[in-house]
Structure 1
Amino acid sequence: MKITDTTKSFLELFHSNKSATIDELQQYHAEYPEIFQTYFNGYCQWSEERLINSLKRYEKKIELIQNNAAQLPAIVEEVFERMSTYFSFKPELEVRLFVGCFGSNAYVDHHCNLHFSVEMLSSALDCLKVLVAHEMAHAFHYLFLNEAKFDWSKIKLDGYSSLYFEGVATYVSSLVIPDIGRSIYFTYNESGDEWLRFSEKNKDKIIGALSEDLGEWSMEKEREWFRLSGGKHFGYNRLGYFIGNEYIKTRNRSIKETMTFWVKESLQKDIQNWLQLYRKGANRND
């Protein structure tokens, strides 16, 4: 595994000139085009105003950025060893650490490269471990699908794909990093207990609303259920992660089989069957 740590370049810029300019920040971005082209194309909308605001926010976040930059390499190594041992599989991965402009916190690209935007992360050790495990689970999942000759054209903006992938990553993170506060597996911070209580108390309503939305999916609904910018319906974002985890943990398959069954079977039909059985009470774990 390779770790590309760009945070040192950022911190050198910040410390050498506490009032860094937009030009200097853009020089940092230009130094790592493979990271920031992807970042600004899909995970953080670029604008001059965003850069200006980010420069102001860095001053308040610099200690957190330093702490996360110091902790993450060792955490990445530990989680990689744990996941490789769990699956008896040790792939070649690249993990990229960078300071972004307060967009997405973490993501995996189409080449299975993991990206962590350190200014957006909690500095609590358990939270960092779970987030790294979640993103690494995505990478392992994609590699298992590739190995099984998955037809990637099956993936659509339909809600089912995100429910599946985020459910798998959430569940796998709990297997690889067990025995910590349950809300952390969904929120990646230490203030998610209320989010979890709401999700568990209102599971039926949430599943009902998601089932309706799956009938007519859109980018707006993708944001509502799976993005930080969502949460208008119930007042809590990314509730799709909770339902995805519920779906995955009730499958009568091994986790490796769950990660590859879509190669030969219908994901949409499997999720629809699960939702139907849930409404009848067959999948309830209350």
Structure 2
Amino acid sequence: MQSIEKYPHYFNSIKEVHENIQSIIPEIAGAYKNKYNLSFPVDINLIVGGFGSNAYTYRQIIPNITFALEKLSPNPDHLRVIVAHEFGHLAQYIMLDDAGMDWSKSRWTHPLIWLYREGIATHLSRQIADNIHPSVYFSYNDEGVQWLTFAQANMIRIKQAFMEDFKALTSEKLFHEWFSINGGNRFGYSRLAYFLGNRFVLEYMEKHGEQATIIAWREENFEAKIAQWLSQEGVDKSE
């Protein structure tokens, strides 16, 4: 009922998002084709949801993608980033499948794999929808500058806190605190795992290259490498 009551205030924005995203989806798909030679044989669903998640993929090897229009900014650059992010998940799965990933051994629900997958999608969104303010790759709107400033200034504290919660909390509670827009009790900022995932991916990429990093999930006990990185202290690098 509360969601229904919100809709009249969002009708114009929903209409604008719908108009803009229809051309942006093929634009982003074309950019992935040009840069990574990837095609996306999936359904793209545009829905008006219940003010929950803004976009998501279904958990399967090559998933369909759904965008909830009421949660998206109509700004074309913001839409380019979130479309590129969701396509980034799909792009990773396609590359892994092509590289011979044994999906029967994949640990979809492991929190460290969640962190890594979001880091990959964030990296790919930056490659495809480039020259946009760095905070937009995490917030998908203009409201993330303070979030990113905090994350960059406190990365060591955030890593330590994530590992403490990783060891102490259930996966459900960890997801809510670190990955959900409704979390963020630790520091007052939600979804900080996306920042950690992005930093891990960029640092791993410096040593192993982009392609190897994107398909590193197929390595045995890859989660141990993520845990090792999270346990290390170091100096943050600006985005």
Percent identity over the alignment is: 32
Distance in 2 (CA, whole Å) between partners of 1:216 and 1:164 is 20
Distance in 2 (CA, whole Å) between partners of 1:255 and 1:268 is 18
| Amino acid aligned to 1:117 | A
Higher relative contact order (CA 8 A, sep 6+): 2
Corresponding residue for residue 87 of structure 2: 136
2:182 matches 1:233: no
- Once the two structures are TM-superposed, the CA of residue 256 in structure 1 deviates from its matched residue by 1.9
2:96 matches 1:145: yes
Corresponding residue for residue 180 of structure 1: 132
| Amino acid aligned to 1:206 | I
Distance in 2 (CA, whole Å) between partners of 1:196 and 1:158 is 25
Distance in 2 (CA, whole Å) between partners of 1:79 and 1:120 is 19
Distance in 1 (CA, whole Å) between partners of 2:54 and 2:10 is 14
Per-residue Cα deviation, 1:97-133 (whole angstroms, up to 9, x for no partner): 1111111110011241110000011111111110000
Q: How many residues end up aligned between the 2 structures?
A: 232
Of 158, 162, 172, 2:110 maps to 158
Matches within 5 A, 1:92-131: 92-109=41-58, 110=60, 111-131=62-82
CA RMSD of aligned residues (A): 1.6
When the two structures are superposed, what TM-score results if normalisation uses the length of structure 2? 0.91
Distance in 2 (CA, whole Å) between partners of 1:198 and 1:238 is 12
Distance in 2 (CA, whole Å) between partners of 1:53 and 1:170 is 31
- Structure 2's unaligned 5+ residue stretches are none
Distance in 2 (CA, whole Å) between partners of 1:269 and 1:225 is 19
Distance in 2 (CA, whole Å) between partners of 1:173 and 1:135 is 8
Distance in 2 (CA, whole Å) between partners of 1:275 and 1:233 is 17
| Amino acid aligned to 1:53 | Q
- Once the two structures are TM-superposed, the CA of residue 266 in structure 1 deviates from its matched residue by 2.2
Distance in 2 (CA, whole Å) between partners of 1:94 and 1:257 is 28
Q: Secondary structure at the match of 1:107?
A: strand
Of 28, 31, 37, 1:82 maps to 31
2:182–2:190: 8 Å Cα contact kept in structure 1?
A: yes
Moved >6 Å (runs of 4+) = none
Corresponding residue for residue 70 of structure 1: 19
When the two structures are superposed, what TM-score results if normalisation uses the length of structure 1? 0.77
- Structure 1's unaligned 5+ residue stretches are 1-51
Distance in 2 (CA, whole Å) between partners of 1:69 and 1:193 is 26
Corresponding residue for residue 213 of structure 2: 258
1:186–1:242: 8 Å Cα contact kept in structure 2?
A: yes
Distance in 2 (CA, whole Å) between partners of 1:268 and 1:56 is 43
Distance in 2 (CA, whole Å) between partners of 1:54 and 1:159 is 30
Corresponding residue for residue 13 of structure 1: none
